[in-house]
Chain A
Amino acid sequence: EADIYQTPRYLVIGTGKKITLECSQTMGHDKMYWYQQDPGMELHLIHYSYGVNSTEKGDLSSESTVSRIRTEHFPLTLESARPSHTSQYLCASRTENYGYTFGSGTRLTVV
């Protein structure tokens, strides 16, 4: 049973729309991450957080933004979606002893 939840699972949206991808975890982990994965390609870190009110940009430049108002919640927002944002977005949390736990991902298509 997943301890980290992402919604929606799939999303098709028109260009210019604002979208928020939800990520929640029930494990009380401080460290959370967003990775982006294009089909058949490697995962790249786009955002991370070390706790409430802490957010940083990752290695891959992204036009998305994140917030961390509560420990369990780490949403990702695109203010104006474009076809170049079409990708899979994976949320994860981490502990020192157990490593990373990933959600099921959101597959975003911008038309």
Chain B
Amino acid sequence: KQEVTQIPAALSVPEGENLVLNCSFTDSAIYNLQWFRQDPGKGLTSLLLIQSSQREQTSGRLNASLDKSSGRSTLYIAASQPGDSATYLCAVSRTDSWGKLQFGAGTQVVVTP
């Protein structure tokens, strides 16, 4: 059974610092990995999607890497801003055709002004 772990569970940084969020998964046979952002009481906003054949994806200040062999992904957020405060979720999609997601518990990020 696939297990997804996110470390740390919570993170507080001053504005301007770079954020490093870690995600690990136990079964390397994944279809893809997706990072999401969730604001309190809201739905999920997709940040980056990395296909299993890719090593990284970038969008603006965000960069996500994927190492399937070691079962790890890292989300980097450069020059953090207070608006980056949210919970960040990592989810892996299984290789079966249904594409069901297995979520981690998330990392709660607070960026202080």
A42, A58, A101: which contacts B100 (Cβ < 8 A)?
A58
> Is there an interface contact between A94 and B99, defined as CB atoms closer than 8 Å?
yes
User: A59 interface residue, CB < 8 Å from B?
Assistant: yes
Nearest residue (CB) in B for A58 is B100
User: B101 interface residue, CB < 8 Å from A?
Assistant: yes
B residues in contact with A56, CB < 8 Å? 98
User: B77 interface residue, CB < 8 Å from A?
Assistant: no
- Give residues of chain A (37-52) contacting chain B, Cβ–Cβ below 8 Å: 41-45, 48, 50
> Is there an interface contact between A31 and B99, defined as CB atoms closer than 8 Å?
yes
What band does the interface of chain B fall in when counting residues whose beta carbon is under 8 Å from A?
Answer: 20 to 34
User: B105 interface residue, CB < 8 Å from A?
Assistant: yes
Stretch binding the partner chain, chosen from A11-19, A68-76, A79-87, A103-111: A103-111
Complex: how many Å from CA A77 to CA B91?
26
User: B44 interface residue, CB < 8 Å from A?
Assistant: yes
B residues in contact with A31, CB < 8 Å? 99
Nearest residue (CB) in A for B87 is A40
Judged by DSSP, the binding face of B is strand
> Is there an interface contact between B103 and A42, defined as CB atoms closer than 8 Å?
yes
- Give residues of chain A (89-111) contacting chain B, Cβ–Cβ below 8 Å: 90, 92, 94, 96, 98-105, 107
Complex: how many Å from CA A22 to CA B98?
22
Complex: how many Å from CA A50 to CA B93?
15
Complex: how many Å from CA A34 to CA B93?
15
Stretch binding the partner chain, chosen from B15-23, B34-42, B66-74, B78-86: B34-42
Chain B residues engaging chain A, CB cutoff 8 angstroms: 32, 34, 36, 41-46, 49, 89, 91, 93, 98-101, 103-106
Query: Can you show 18 pairs from A to B with CB atoms below 8 A apart?
Result: A31-B99, A35-B101, A41-B105, A42-B104, A43-B103, A45-B100, A45-B101, A58-B100, A90-B44, A92-B44, A98-B49, A99-B34, A99-B46, A99-B49, A100-B34, A100-B101, A102-B45, A105-B42
